[in-house]
């Protein structure tokens, strides 16, 4: 380990993350037209240097200086050009004309590359890819539509990073309009798009297309991406389904959660009609981003001290200020409002409600192998 590496380790510096796709090949392709003028410049410099050495008897350094001085057409006044022989003057004129032609060619190429706009687009996309590469535990949202607009508003409000992928040509303008900090213009189901979105470090993927075929392609692609790139933990995949009958199909294909706008709307309206006061309470305390209350499922590992303990013996309400309002068993069955005598089984999920601070503390307690010290004071 060299001195620089030791200093970086001491200061806890980490190297800047690089994207999975850097667009270097596309960027180099834009500079290929510059090869011709660069080669011509080198040939002219060699030709001019040898000519001044032979005609005027200059040394190598003086001949090289005179060639560069003349080739760039900056004028006379150095190394005694007034004393040139007639052949040297003709040689100098020829060199000036060649220099002017080469620089004119180079200027034309520069203007052509800039006018095409491809170089500017690649540089913008490359900058975006390097920004996305810094993200961790983000969500990849596929397709821009009204659902995506509303989802991204909630994600921004809860400070959850996300990347939006859509193949539209005006994606840059849409990103500015709807405040997408990270976006990619590509077909979401392609491996290239997933690499650009830095899916390897993402928490999950959300597909919000109104087309069933698009959602199927995305779910299959992301599960295949997991296998090919050996992702240690499965992505959390959320899909939308316009038809209620498609919910089971998408879940069988690999979606963790499938949301049907039609079904959700019906359930919400029914809840408002049956229990308007309760719906207002949920709206005030659970759906808002700045609420003091939160609700979350907490996984109980096999090694947790809670396993085979009665729920009342955990004293979560006393030490963490949270309430367990449901237990999802290993087989997926939900036990609502469990009583205190219910045993906490391994690999179940506790549905808790409480403050964000209390839920974070509960997660810490559940992961412990031994009985926590806090229980001694209860």
Q: With helix as H, strand as E and coil as C, how does the chain read?
A: CCHHHHHHHHCCCCCCCCCCCCCHHHHHHHHHHHHHHHHHHHHHHHHHHHHHHHHCCCCHHHHHHHHHHHHCCCCCCCCCHHHCCHHHHHHHHHHHHHHHHHHHHHHHHHHHHHHHCHHHHHHHHHHHHHHHCCCCCCEEEECCCHHHHHHHHHHHHCCCCEEEEECCCCHHHHHHHCCCCCEEECCCCCHHHHHHCCHHHCCEEEECCCCHHHHHHHHHHHHHHHHHCCCCCCCEEEEECCCHHHHHHHHHHCCCEEECHHHHHHHHHHHHHHCHHHHHHHHHHCCCCCCCEEEEEEECCCCCCCCCEEHHHHCHHHHCCEEEEEEECCCCCEEECCCCCCEECCCCEEEEEEEHHHHHHHHHHHHCCCCCHHHHHC
Residue 299, number of CB atoms within 10 A of its CB: 13
pLDDT of residue 350: 92
pLDDT of residue 115: 82
Euclidean distance between CA atoms 232 and 230, whole angstroms: 6
Question: Does residue 52 contact residue 65 with C-beta atoms inside 8 Å?
Answer: no
pLDDT of residue 320: 87
pLDDT of residue 132: 93
CATH architecture of 292-377: 2-Layer Sandwich (3.30)
Euclidean distance between CA atoms 323 and 209, whole angstroms: 37
Token pair 């237990």 is found at 327
Integer CA distances (angstroms), 367 to 88, 306, 309, 326, 361, in order:
86, 9, 14, 19, 10
pLDDT of residue 204: 92
Dihedral sign from CA coordinates of 133, 135, 140, 145: negative
pLDDT of residue 140: 95
Euclidean distance between CA atoms 241 and 218, whole angstroms: 13
pLDDT of residue 82: 64
Euclidean distance between CA atoms 314 and 316, whole angstroms: 5
pLDDT of residue 143: 92
* pLDDT block averages, 10 residues each, the chain of length 378: 62 68 83 85 89 87 85 63 78 85 85 82 90 92 91 88 93 93 93 92 90 89 90 87 82 86 66 60 54 80 90 88 89 88 91 87 89 74
Whole-model pTM: value is 0.65
Bridge-based pairing of strands 349-355 and 322-328 is: antiparallel
CATH architecture of 26-118: Orthogonal Bundle (1.10)
Burial class (CB in 10 A: 0-12, 13-18, 19+), 267: exposed
pLDDT of residue 14: 57
Bridge-based pairing of strands 139-142 and 162-166 is: parallel
For the chain, first and last CA: distance in Å?
51
pLDDT of residue 288: 54
Phi and psi, residue 206, nearest 5°: -120, 120
Q: Does the 135-259 domain belong in CATH 3.40.50.10610?
A: no
pLDDT of residue 318: 86
pLDDT of residue 165: 95
Residue ranges per structural domain of the chain: 26-118, 135-259, 292-377
pLDDT of residue 152: 92
Question: Does residue 325 contact residue 307 with C-beta atoms inside 8 Å?
Answer: no
């Amino acid at each position: 380990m060299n001195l620089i590496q030791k200093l970086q380790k001491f200061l806890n510096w980490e190297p800047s993350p690089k994207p999975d796709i850097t667009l270097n090949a596309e960027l180099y392709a834009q500079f290929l037209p510059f090869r011709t003028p660069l080669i011509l410049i080198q040939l002219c410099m060699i030709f001019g240097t040898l000519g001044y050495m032979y005609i005027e008897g200059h040394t190598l350094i003086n001949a090289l200086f005179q060639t560069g001085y003349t080739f760039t057409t900056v004028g006379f006044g150095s190394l005694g050009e007034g004393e040139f022989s007639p052949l040297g003057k003709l040689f100098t004129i020829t060199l000036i004309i060649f220099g002017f032609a080469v620089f004119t060619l180079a200027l034309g190429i520069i203007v052509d590359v800039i006018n095409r706009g491809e170089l500017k687009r690649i540089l913008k996309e490359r900058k975006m890819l390097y920004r996305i590469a810094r993200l961790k535990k983000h969500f990849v949202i596929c397709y821009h539509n009204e659902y995506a607009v509303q989802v991204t508003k909630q994600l921004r409000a809860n400070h959850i990073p996300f990347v939006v992928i859509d193949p539209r040509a005006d994606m840059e303008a849409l990103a500015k309009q709807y405040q997408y900090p990270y976006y990619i213009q590509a077909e979401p189901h392609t491996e290239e798009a997933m690499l650009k979105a830095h899916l390897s470090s993402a928490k999950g993927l959300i597909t919000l297309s109104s087309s069933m075929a698009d959602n199927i392609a995305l779910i299959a692609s992301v599960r295949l991406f997991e296998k090919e790139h050996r992702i240690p933990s499965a992505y959390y995949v959320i899909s939308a389904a316009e038809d209620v009958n498609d919910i089971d199909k998408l879940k069988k294909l690999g979606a963790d959660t499938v949301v049907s706008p039609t079904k959700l709307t019906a359930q919400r309206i029914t809840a408002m009609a049956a229990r308007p006061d309760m719906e207002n309470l949920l709206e005030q305390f659970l759906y808002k981003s700045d609420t003091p209350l939160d609700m979350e499922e907490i996984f109980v590992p096999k090694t947790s001290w809670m396993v085979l303990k009665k729920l009342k013996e955990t004293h979560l309400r006393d030490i963490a200020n949270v309430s367990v309002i449901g237990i999802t068993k290993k087989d997926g069955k939900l036990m609502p409002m469990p009583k205190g005598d219910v045993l906490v089984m391994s690999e179940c999920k506790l549905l808790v409600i409480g403050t964000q601070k209390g839920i974070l503390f509960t997660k810490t307690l559940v992961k412990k192998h031994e009985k926590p010290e806090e229980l001694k004071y209860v």
